[in-house]
Structure formats: structure tokens, C-alpha cells
A = this chain, B = another copy of it.
Amino acid sequence: MPDRLVLDYDAMLAPRLGRGIEPADIAALATRFSDIHEAVQHRYNAGDLAFLDLPAGGEVVEQIRTFAEGMGQAFDTIVVLGIGGSALGTIALRQALLRTGWNEAEAEAREFFPRLFVLDNVDPTTIAPLLDRLDLARTLFNVVSKSGSTAETLAQFLIVQQRLRAALGDEGWRGHFLFTTDPSSGPLRAIAEQDGIASLPVPPGVGGRFSVLSAVGLLPAALVGIDIDALLAGAAAMVQRCASAALHENPAGMFAALQYHAHERAGAPIHVMMPYTDRLAGVADWFRQLWAESLGKRVDTSGAVVHRGPTPVVALGATDQHSQVQLYMEGPFDKTITFLTVRSLPADLVIPHAFPDLDALAFLGGHSLGGLLEAERAATRSALTRAGRMNMTIQLPDIGAHSIGQLLMLLQLATVYAGGFYDVDPLDQPGVELGKRLTYGLLGRPGYEAPDDPAPDSRHVST
């Protein structure tokens, strides 16, 4: 049986830290958690939490496998057009599970799997050079939007479609698209049906930021050779592990309870996630969306105006020891730090012995870079703990698909539980609508008004 992820929260607690959360608080959180666990079960029964069903795989996973092993073989480059929840999960999987420099490596080093690009912004200075160097005849564009109406993604689609038509003709372009979108509604679904574009569904009840284990993340993952069965099995193991309503047995519940309590009762609204390997930086970025968009809410579940929500922050070890750790050590006690670490990295390099007369170099000889990274993590944890800074550690057995599956599901479940503790709906995002409507208005979309903001007071502009 593959190893399990470990959550060590000793340094969140007062016995270890000299401040922070008291063991008696945990007892109160545990009582509350059993109610939250039950409420989540009800919401699952109502069909709102369909992401919990994704690890079971099923027909769509078969379709994905069939495509990846069949038509997918025709392409040497995959480009995902998507933004937010349609991009962050795929970026996290790519960074964690493919070797660094994948897209620059020769085909043989990629075992002849395709390159994988994700276009997650509409910056022309990024998109133009990328499109210019693609061999369109060998490229598949996976257009990902649950609603099928995301302006950024449709703008990318229109530009790419024009280029493909010009290069491959009025028929040939169609085989270079695959849409991942709602099974029955939205503009992308309409185009798929009208133009006969291949498509995969995002299941109803799976929100964008909870979609990494649907076709949204699994199709690109399968195309580049990631073991999606192991990914799903890891996620399924975490769902199973979190079946318990007992807080001390449920790591996602404990993560949520402690972050919530640290925020609302111990003055720490800033939640830092700090992986100690480049490989997990994408997971931290993905979590940043999950935590911010799910918990940052104007109203609670009773409709009262509360303006609630923690602010997630991503830091990277060891790099950010030279950027953010000064603040974490000495600044306000307004943060929790969650280290992500790996029992063993998939590659290492030994530091040679040299310059024996120079102390600053001599002691490094014989250690490995992985050993240096791990020593820095342990030292930073120790220093932060001595400074009374709440921190916890999530340790993965390795950077394999099963471990990543466990981690992704842990954090998704923790987000839903945190919605319970914060008493907000973790599944909606009403605050982004106004900006969308104003964008439509500025671009002249019929039925939408442009903002008629007054010009800035010229006394408040330095020119």
C-alpha cells in the first residue's frame, strides 16, 4: 500500500509554541467539526460536492484514456487555453509530476510524450511569441471553461481558430481542438455540436476550482503520461481517510479547524503555504485560489454582512528565506505557515568537497542539495517555532501521482470544511460578477453598461 501523507501540527499549539492554540480549543473545535462533517455530508447528498465522486473515475476517465492513447498520440504539443480553475490544477500537476524543463527537453527525454503549455492570461506579449513558434499541424488546443463563456478563454480561442483555419483549411482546424466544458450548455458546447469538435464534460456539481480531478486536469495529465489512476487512487484514499467525523482522525478537518482558529481567535488572517521544493510551487498557487475564492465572502450563510476570509500567500523554500522569512520571524503575529515537504526527492546532486581552507565552503562538501534543502526547512521550522510563530508541516511520502492525489484532495476537503467553520458558502464567487459586467460594458457588449466613473481628482495624481 502506498504511504500516507502526514500532517504535523504540533507547532500550531501552545504547549510547543508558548502561545497559539490551546489543547482545550481543539476539544471545542472537534465538537463543532462533527456538526460540520455532517453538514458536508448533507451537501454531498444534495449533489453540491460532486468533486468527491471524481476519484471513482468512471466513463469519462475511460474516454480520456481512449483519447490520450489514440488520437492524442498525433500531437507533439498540447496547449491548454483556460484561466483560473481551468488552468491552475493542470499547472500544479505539470510542475509536480513532470521533470523540470519538460517543454525544452528533447522528445526522448520526454519519453515521446508531448510538450504541455498552459495559456492562463490574455497578455499578447506572452501569447504572440508562443503561437509563432508552435508547429500548428502537430498541436492540440484544449479549450477549458466550465461555463463555456469565459471572455479570456474565448478570446484566445478566436485567435487560435483563425490561425488554424489559415494553416490547415476550413475543415482541418476542427481536429486540433478539444473542448472541456459543461455537458449540455454554454457557447463552447454549442460550437462543439455545431462544428463537430471533440469534447469532454465538466460534471454538473463540480465547480471550477474543484475540477482538477475531472477532465479539466486529467486530460492534459493523461496526454503527457501522468499516471491518472494513481492520482485518483491517492485522492480516493484521502476521501476514505476523511470519512471520519472525529477531528483528530481527519487531517483535512484538522487543517481547516486550526487555520480557522488561528485566524478568528489567534489573530492570524494570513495563511502562508511554503513548499520546500520547486515541484510543489504550482500546488501552492492552486491552493491559493481554492482558499481565497472559497472563503473570502461578504455574507455568511444566514445572509448577514460579515466581510470574512483569510488571505492565502505562497512562499517557496529555500528561496523565500531570502525574501519573506525576515517578516515571518520578526513581523506581526498575523500569520500561519504551512510547510510542504517530501520525504525523498526524485533526483539529487552531491555537493563535492573543495576549498578545504574556506570554512564557508568546506562544510558543504559531501552533503546533497536535497539534504541542504531539508536542513534549511528543518532550521526554518525550528527558528519560527522558537520565535512563537504558528506553523504546521504536510509531509508527502514522495512526489508521485498517488501522493499528489492525496494532497489535492486533502486541501479541497479542508476548504469545504473551512467554509463550515467560517460559516460561509465555499462554492460560490459572487464578488467577481461586477468586474465581468464592467469589462463587457467597456468592450461594448450589448446589454452591459460601461462604468461612468468620474476622472480621478487631478490633485491626487502625480504626473
Contacts and interface: CB of A to CB of B under 8 A. Distances in A.
A330 B298 contact: yes
A12 B128 CA distance: 35
A457 interface: yes
A70 interface: no
Interface string A301-328: 0000001110101001011011111111
What does DSSP make chain A's interface, helix, strand, loop or mixed?
helix
A451 to B, nearest CB: 4
Given A16-B456, A126-B100, A323-B289, A331 B355 contact: no
A335 interface: yes
A76 to B, nearest CB: 15
B88 A323 contact: yes
A161 B368 CA distance: 15
A247 to B, nearest CB: 10
B451 A324 contact: no
Contacts of A159: 349-352, 369
Interface size range of chain A in the complex: 35 or more
A146 B153 CA distance: 44
A228 to B, nearest CB: 21
A327, A329, A373, A436, most chain B CB atoms within 10 A:
A327
A90 interface: no
A432 B321 contact: yes
A440 B451 CA distance: 57
Q: Which 3 A-B pairs have the closest CB atoms?
A: A84-B322, A296-B327, A10-B456
Nearest to A380: B435
A37 interface: no
Interface in A356-377: 358-361, 363-365, 367-373, 375-376
Given A101-B130, A122-B373, 16 more contacts: A4-B463, A7-B462, A8-B460, A84-B319, A88-B323, A100-B129, A120-B319, A123-B277, A124-B373, A159-B351, A289-B323, A311-B327, A325-B432, A329-B431, A382-B453, A383-B438
Contacts of A462: 6-9, 248-249, 251, 254
